């Protein structure tokens, strides 16, 4: 379907077309602004969920808690050595006391980190894959050496956050669809208002032999242009906001927040949103105007 933008200047003057005049372009701009923000949030959350799943699905932490420091140290060394020989285990790193003290300092303070303070032995394990059989083999090897040790799965810790990201992604999709529906409704109302305003002009055009499709093309061209100009305006403002939020997220230096990014495909989809809105406005305007003109006859 053609937008019909290549009309002659006399046809354009019939409906007094202007740039960003009247409420229609600004309504579209607001809708586009909210749609682009919702779409960017959905893309970012979906990417963060995928990145989180890829990073944490194959990560385990072995925690050895023993009151006797020598026994704890000995069991940790044996567990680390045993895990390094298992197939499917990519990396085994045992956290030293200094690393654990750095993690506890924000909660206990420097005065609370006494040298006699017992700390569990922690061993980080990276797997080649998150298959259940590999995880079960790791748990079995740990249980044979240190029965009281605990194997924690990182993916299980952050499962609620991943579920939240999933729900928020679907909420963003619903918001985009609602904004598209609201835009279509606004276009329908604008088209009906334009028909009532230019009723006399339409009657003259019909008397001169113009068909309903020719008349509808005049209105849909103006509405499509308004939608495109408003959409570009709203998108530009939304992209500025997205870039500002992205810079703030990047400054957090958080592993969880680092996954909230946009790929080049996401940026491309955001850039074509004004064209999608213009096509939607053209279709809604054409359908509404043709149906209204048929009732006039």
Asked if residue 9 has pLDDT above 50, the reply is no
Q: With H, G, I as helix, E, B as strand and everything else as coil, classify residue 158.
A: coil
Chain centroid to Cα 166, Å, comes to 10
Q: What is the pLDDT of residue 33?
A: 95
Report whether pLDDT(40) > 70.
yes
42: enclosing H helix or E strand: helix 23-56
| Per-residue pLDDT tens digits for 144-187 | 888 888 888 877 777 777 788 889 899 999 999 999 899 888 88
Whether 33 and 230 have beta carbons less than 8 Å apart is answered as: no
pLDDT at 6: 39
- Determine what percent of the chain is predicted with pLDDT higher than 90: 16
Residue 137 in contact with residue 28, Cβ under 8 Å?
A: no
Cα–Cα dist 294/198, whole Å: 16
Order across the sheet with 59-64: list the strands: 89-94, 121-127, 59-64, 150-153
127 - beta bridge partners?
Answer: 89
High-pLDDT (> 70) share of the chain, %: 80
CA 54 remoteness from chain centre = 17
For 108-130, what is the mean pLDDT? 71
How far is 233 from 254, CA to CA, in rounded Å? 33
Per-residue tokens: 31: 């809708």
Contact (Cβ atoms closer than 8 angstroms) between residue 230 and residue 20: yes
pLDDT at res. 1: 40
Place of tokens 């606004």: 186
Instruction: Name the residue among 67, 154, 66, 157 with its Cα closest to residue 79.
Output: 66
pLDDT score of 141 more than 60: yes
Question: Is 222 within 8 Å of 229 (Cβ atoms)?
Answer: no
Residue 134 pLDDT: 81
Is the pLDDT at 13 greater than 70? The verdict is no
- Taking the CB of residue 41, how many other CB atoms lie within 10 A of it? 19
Q: What is the mean pLDDT of the chain?
A: 79
Instruction: Label residue 83 by pLDDT band (50, 70, 90).
Output: confident
Q: How far is CA 83 from CA 38, 148, 201, 218, in A?
A: 45, 17, 83, 74
Mean pLDDT along residues 218-223: 80
Tell the residue number behind the tokens 């909420």, with chain if given.
171
How far does CA 169 lie from the centroid of its chain?
A: 6
């Amino acid at each position: 379907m053609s937008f019909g933008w290549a009309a002659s200047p006399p046809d354009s003057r019939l409906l007094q077309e202007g740039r960003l005049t009247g409420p229609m372009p600004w309504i579209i701009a607001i809708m586009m602004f909210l749609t682009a923000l919702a779409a960017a949030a959905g893309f970012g959350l979906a990417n963060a969920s995928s990145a989180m799943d890829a990073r944490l699905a194959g990560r385990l932490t072995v925690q050895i808690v023993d009151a006797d420091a020598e026994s704890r140290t000995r069991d940790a060394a044996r567990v680390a050595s045993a895990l390094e020989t298992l197939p499917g285990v990519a990396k085994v790193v045992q956290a030293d006391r200094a690393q654990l003290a750095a993690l506890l300092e924000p909660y206990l303070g420097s005065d609370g980190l006494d040298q006699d303070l017992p700390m569990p032995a922690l061993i980080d394990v990276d797997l080649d894959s998150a298959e259940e059989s590999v995880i079960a083999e790791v748990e079995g090897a740990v249980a044979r050496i240190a029965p009281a040790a605990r194997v924690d799965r990182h993916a299980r810790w952050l499962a609620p956050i991943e579920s939240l990201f999933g729900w928020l992604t679907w909420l963003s999709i619903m918001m985009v669809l609602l904004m598209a529906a609201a835009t279509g409704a606004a276009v329908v109302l604008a088209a009906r208002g334009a028909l009532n305003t230019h009723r006399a002009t339409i009657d003259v055009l019909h008397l001169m032999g113009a068909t309903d499709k020719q008349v509808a093309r005049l209105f849909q061209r103006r509405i499509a242009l308004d939608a495109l100009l408003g959409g570009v305006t709203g998108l530009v403002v939304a992209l500025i906001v997205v870039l500002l939020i992205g810079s703030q997220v990047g400054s957090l230096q958080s592993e969880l927040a680092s996954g909230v990014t946009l790929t080049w495909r996401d940026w491309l989809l955001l850039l074509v949103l004004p064209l999608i809105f213009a096509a939607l406005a053209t279709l809604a305007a054409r359908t509404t105007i043709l149906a209204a003109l048929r009732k006039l006859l």
